[in-house]
Amino acid sequence: MTSKIGFIGLGRMGRPMASNLRKKGFELVVHDIDRQAVNALVALGAKAGASIADIARECRIVITMLPTNLEVEAVALGPDGIFANAAPGTILMDMSTIDPLATDRLSAEAGRHGMTVVDAPVGRLAEHADRGESLFMVGASEADFATVKPLLEAMGTAIYHCGPVGTGGRTKLVNNYVAVTLCQVNGEALALSQRFGLDITRTLQVLYGTSASNGQLRMNFPNKVLAGDTSPGFTIDLAHKDMSLVVAAAHAARVPMPVAAAVHESFSQARAAEFGRIDFSGIADVICEIAKIDKPRVPEGWKPA
């Protein structure tokens, strides 16, 4: 693909994804409020976009990877934004996790400008993005999916076309509901095991050998909170934001989700105690601090069997 690709949002996930695109030979024009992040991409051969409007005028595919609805809608809908400045036929591929109803609104507005929207939120963790091993849940027309698929293949190893526009984001909410809830459940279980005085590695081996095993406990926890590393791959703040979206979407769809509401409030409590910027696996440490229990830790170098 020889046309330029715009990439707006070079945070913890966006920066490695853009870097992988550039390393695979895609011509990028990038933008972020963090100038250091922009400079890192420029060092790889990307071009720094002077403004969002300039990127929109220069690129026929514009990717956004931003924190919330507010940023995505500001970038897309403002007078200096994508829809006001891009040519008809431009594709906006939003990879953020936002309210699916906002995606629906963006798609409708794009249509009024002769443009289209693809929603392609990201699965897996930041370290997977670093290695180009992300998973993507894509909502798009067949034609748009075929157009953006080479870009997704440059950034990840698993690509699922979930259906038309909006299905990617809705699938992501289902996924993140399970992932964040498992963090909460694992944190509570490990706190209980600590209170019981159980050996942490034997407890984990038992859990890994039964139907209680789960991806968070096996893949994320041993490399993060259980190793004493709560530096953010995916923060408690972002997990709380996603659970807010889940609860709101469930209310709109009239689906009772009492567990989601309880987990949302637990993460609210963690944020109120100023743990919002640590990794979401760190909810285990938060629970232990509240209960005044020693934090669960595995020996250095320990790996699941």
Q: pLDDT digit string (tens) for 160-201?
A: 999 999 999 999 999 999 999 999 999 999 999 999 999 999
| Bridge partners, 30 (sequence order) | 7, 48
Query: Encoding tokens for residue 304?
Result: 């699941």
pTM, two decimals, is 0.93
**Catalytic residue of the set 4, 172, 224, 295:** 172
**149 classed as catalytic:** no
Quote the pLDDT of residue 126: 85
Quote the pLDDT of residue 305: 76
Query: Encoding tokens for residue 300?
Result: 């250095």
Query: Encoding tokens for residue 155?
Result: 């950034």
Give the tens place of pLDDT for each residue, 237-272: 999 999 999 999 999 999 999 999 999 999 999 999
- Calculate mean pLDDT across residues 80-92: 97
Is the Cβ–Cβ distance between 88 and 113 less than 8 Å?
yes
Quote the pLDDT of residue 1: 42
Number of neighbouring beta carbons within 10 Å of residue 290: 13
Quote the pLDDT of residue 304: 84
In the chain, helix, strand, coil percent, each to 5?
A: 55, 15, 30
DSSP designation for 278 = S
Neighbouring residues of 295: CB distance < 8 A, sequence distance ≥ 6:
194, 225, 284, 285, 288, 289
Give the tens place of pLDDT for each residue, 92-131: 999 999 999 999 999 999 999 999 999 999 998 888 999 9
| Side chain identity, residue 37 | A
